[in-house]
Structure 1
Amino acid sequence: MDDLLERCGGFMGATTDYRLSRVVLLGAPMDFTVSYRPGTRSGPRRIREVSIGLEEYSPYQHKDLKNYSYYDAGDVLLPFGNVSQSLLRMEEVIGRLLKDDKFLLILGGEHLITLAPVKQMANKYPDLTVLHFDAHADLRSDYLGETMSHATVMRRVAEVVGSHNLYQFGIRSGTAEEFDYGRENTGFYSFEILNPLRKVVDRLHGRPVYVTLDIDVVDPAFAPGTGTPEPGGCSSSEIIAALHMLKDLNVVGMDLVEVCPVYDQTDRTALLAAKLVREAILLFGKENSI
């Protein structure tokens, strides 16, 4: 598998012991289909780089990364500009990691990368549910004639898991057709995150859940470093709270996408992403045996 991966600086505190790690971080530096501002291919690397600015201790959970083993596998090596082959390479790597029963925490990259883990997760968990946090519906059947795009990814995900197994939160941008499709077919919650999430969480206990979090669900006042910023979103505190609400669910994998460092010289977007990664490791990882 090493021939499919590029080693790079790891997330803070990551171990070199793959075998002992339940959580594996994986970069997916693809931004070939973005429709506005490119640059998310640099997201995985910058999230790792700024992570050293955070403490390993989480006061939210009273847990510390030093008590968890997690492995940073690096970035998938992608053939530049080739969308279909890039997705296939991601699927191959993800499939191998899932055979080892790893919890995957994937760093994007554009949102189309979500299709690769969802396909592999759905093979392993036939009743998979997807929780989608985003400013955009991403439910177009095609974008300018292309069916594979960051603007169509949730429509493709719905085709994999069934639209009734897709729940969308914080949506505040899309075409009229996308909003109609979402309201009629998915668990579609525009604008709000926390209130509808509380209701949905109660219905999902015991079921395998995959989480995809587009950083632009957060208002650009808090997270300006993204390719398609959309005013009117949640605060950084709210998205952290939303992640913590998933602590009792059977979350089997997660991705965090659309961090675009070039548009945020303050690094607050990448820092928020790194903080969410820290919280996810502590939520979904396994504490080391004493």
Structure 2
Amino acid sequence: MLAGYVKNQGFLASGDNYEGARVVLAGIPFDATTSFRPGARWAPQAIRAVSEVLEEYSPYLQRELGQVPFYDAGDLDLVPGRLEANLERMEAAAAALFQDKKIPLFLGGEHLVSYPLIRSARRYYPNLAVLHFDAHADLREEYLGERLSHATVMRLVAEEIGPGNLYQFGIRSGTWGEFAYGQEETNFFMDVITTPLEKLVPELGSRPLYVSIDIDVVDPAFAPGTGTPEPGGCTPREILQVIYLLRQARVVAFDLVEVCPAYDHGNITAILAGKIIREAILAWGR
């Protein structure tokens, strides 16, 4: 058991051998800057709870979870109300996983959690590229007077890694300024995900990739349990195709954020998140 985590129910078929695991799941139960519907802090345990409905075998990848040793560390122990202290704790926790040569799969939590995790990843992988799948650009310089927010997270990331190393897919919501910045500075793909990704994967080659999926990239008809739903999104099949397209790429870390269980009718969003996690483990856990 890793220090600094609270361990409850584990993800489907997770093992108990941290040292022997290549992939490590870590929950980040944090939603301090959520602007519309809070509750994403409860997502990691909700996703784990419904993962039992899934099979261990993926017919798409023709592998099962028993073939990939992975460990579920539990949820990072965070301090209520301490924004910057919690971000520092996330960054340090990610650093420990990278130092141990693990592929971390982080379960958010709101999208701001990506910032300290990516900061940590970049220290270990200086040539890091970030692939961001989201309904929202998240490129504001500040939101309601705050620099640190789930609405500013990708602007922070762009400034950390250089905007030319940020690739944004499925974006369909934001301010005029965000769209202008994205189209001029980042690799910005409005409202589409798989077509540009097919062309991009060979170009990225062996570059280390951090993949961040905000569940609201999926249309709310399929994923209503999220804090800021935005109509007009992709289908579950399309977002799963992202995982498969990246199978031959060098994914070094992944986060899945913004599932909000309180608004999740019939657990369909959490189940989708669980399936994304299963496919990611099988695709990237070599």
- Measured against the shorter chain, the TM-score band is over 0.9
**In the aligned structure 1, how far is the partner of 2:5 from the partner of 2:160?**
26
**Aligned 8 A contact 2:91 2:120 in 1:** yes
Structure 2 residue matching 1:149: 3-state secondary structure: coil
**Aligned 8 A contact 1:43 1:259 in 2:** yes
State the one-letter code of the partner of 1:141.
Answer: E
**In the aligned structure 1, how far is the partner of 2:200 from the partner of 2:257?**
22
State the one-letter code of the partner of 2:39.
Answer: G
Counterpart in the other structure of 1:84: 84
Report how far residue 138 of structure 1 moved.
0.2
Q: Taking structure 1 as the reference length, what is the TM-score of the superposition?
A: 0.97
Counterpart in the other structure of 1:272: 272
Kindly report structure 1 stretches of 4+ aligned residues shifted beyond 6 Å: none
Identity between Structure 1 and Structure 2 (%): 54
Counterpart in the other structure of 1:140: 140
State the one-letter code of the partner of 2:33.
Answer: T
Counterpart in the other structure of 1:204: 204
- Structure 2's unaligned 5+ residue stretches are none
Q: Taking structure 2 as the reference length, what is the TM-score of the superposition?
A: 0.98
**In the aligned structure 2, how far is the partner of 1:5 from the partner of 1:60?**
33
State the one-letter code of the partner of 2:271.
Answer: L
Structure 2 residue matching 1:116: 3-state secondary structure: helix
Report how far residue 265 of structure 1 moved.
2.9
**Aligned 8 A contact 1:4 1:89 in 2:** no
Report how far residue 2 of structure 1 moved.
4.5
Report how far residue 202 of structure 1 moved.
2.0
Counterpart in the other structure of 2:58: 58
State the one-letter code of the partner of 2:55.
Answer: E
Structure 2 residue matching 1:225: 3-state secondary structure: coil
**In the aligned structure 1, how far is the partner of 2:144 from the partner of 2:260?**
23
State the one-letter code of the partner of 2:130.
Answer: V
**Aligned 8 A contact 2:2 2:73 in 1:** no
Report how far residue 197 of structure 1 moved.
1.1
**In the aligned structure 2, how far is the partner of 1:272 from the partner of 1:130?**
22
- 1:94 matches 2:102: no
Counterpart in the other structure of 1:149: 149
Counterpart in the other structure of 1:215: 215
State the one-letter code of the partner of 1:208.
Answer: P
Report how far residue 181 of structure 1 moved.
0.2
Number of residue pairs matched by the alignment: 286
Structure 2 residue matching 1:93: 3-state secondary structure: helix
**In the aligned structure 2, how far is the partner of 1:139 from the partner of 1:202?**
27
Counterpart in the other structure of 1:113: 113
Over residues 174-223 of structure 1, what are the superposed CA-to-partner deviations in whole Å (9 max), with x where a residue is unaligned?
00000000000000011111111112212101100000000000000000
**Aligned 8 A contact 2:137 2:174 in 1:** yes
Report how far residue 3 of structure 1 moved.
4.5
Report how far residue 42 of structure 1 moved.
0.5
Counterpart in the other structure of 2:21: 21
**In the aligned structure 1, how far is the partner of 2:186 from the partner of 2:199?**
15
